[in-house]
Amino acid sequence: MRAEVGAIDVHQHLWPRAFIDALSARDGVPRLEGNMLFLPEGTYEVELGDHRLEKRLSQLDVAGIDVAVVSLQPTFGFEALPAGERAHLEQVWEDNILELAEASQGRIVPLAASRPRDGFAGVSVGADALDDLDGLTPVLDAVRGSGFLFVHPVAGTPVPGAPPWWPALVDYTAQMQRAYFAWLAGGQSRWPDVNIVFAILAGGAPIQLERLASRGVDVRSVLFSNVFFDTSSYGRRALEVCVETFGVEQLVHGSDAPVIDPGATLGAIRGFGESVEKLVTVDNPNRLLT
């Protein structure tokens, strides 16, 4: 059993040098050309220096975070790749992130990509994986009683003429709500002992529970101690709704760094006071790792 640690961020992304090189060697998406990242949903400028271990540890120090849980984001669009290409990229990331985790002396804790693997604290899957819970059964069985499942959006769909923020605001939130309700409808009863974390507050799922109640469902029946929601990108108003709906015990600090500046959300958490901050950044995340 892993010893309890201090403040934790359950949602960060870190690219080892070998993974950056693998993306840079590609012709199709996903690929890197210098500091431009080409994804199925669009093209984005990235700061590759944010993925140097020394800089990441320094950023954790500045934020007052002891440990970052890192994953390979499904928004790369791996699900659309041939199986061999996907497996190669995931293995490059996994093999090399283990080296960074060891070099970090425990401050970087990785999640495996798509399927269980020794040395990882759990598994990260795309939101669409919960559309097929039978297909996800081997992963869910593997994290029973050890580690956790982290559910993250997959690549969005380009919309002609839409602004750059469209995938993150429209596609990602819709995916996460679908994944959360798929878990309520068919997953929770089968795997009540699996800790599961939904990124970005499950796409704002807390506000949908009132609508669920209007369809005759007792909302109290969908509140579970093994289901967690990460805070990434949200501020005080959204967090208040989540706390009122699920309680502080089901909220875990996640930042989505370096994609998003973690300062605003972390400041909102700390604005609730020391007791809430400790639950969200220390006690609740430690339940996932111990």
Residue 132's Cβ-count burial label (10 Å; 0-12, 13-18, 19+) is exposed
pTM: 0.96
pLDDT at 2: 64
Q: Which domains does the chain have, with CATH numbers?
A: 57-289 (3.20.20.140)
pLDDT at 286: 96
CB 5 within 8 A of CB 63: no
Bridge partners, 32 (sequence order): 37
pLDDT at 154: 97
Per-residue pLDDT tens digits for 148-172: 999 999 999 889 999 999 999 999 9
- SS3 for 145-201 is CCCEEEEECCCCCCCCCCCCCHHHHHHHHHHHHHHHHHHHHHHCCCCCCCCEEECHH
pLDDT at 145: 84
* Cα(179)–Cα(229) distance, integer angstroms: 12
Using only C-alpha atoms, the chain has a radius of gyration, in whole angstroms, of 18
Low-confidence stretches of the chain (pLDDT < 70) are 1-3
CB 179 within 8 A of CB 130: yes
Residue 286 tokens read as 């430690």
Q: Is the peptide bond before 258 cis (omega within 30 degrees of 0)?
A: yes
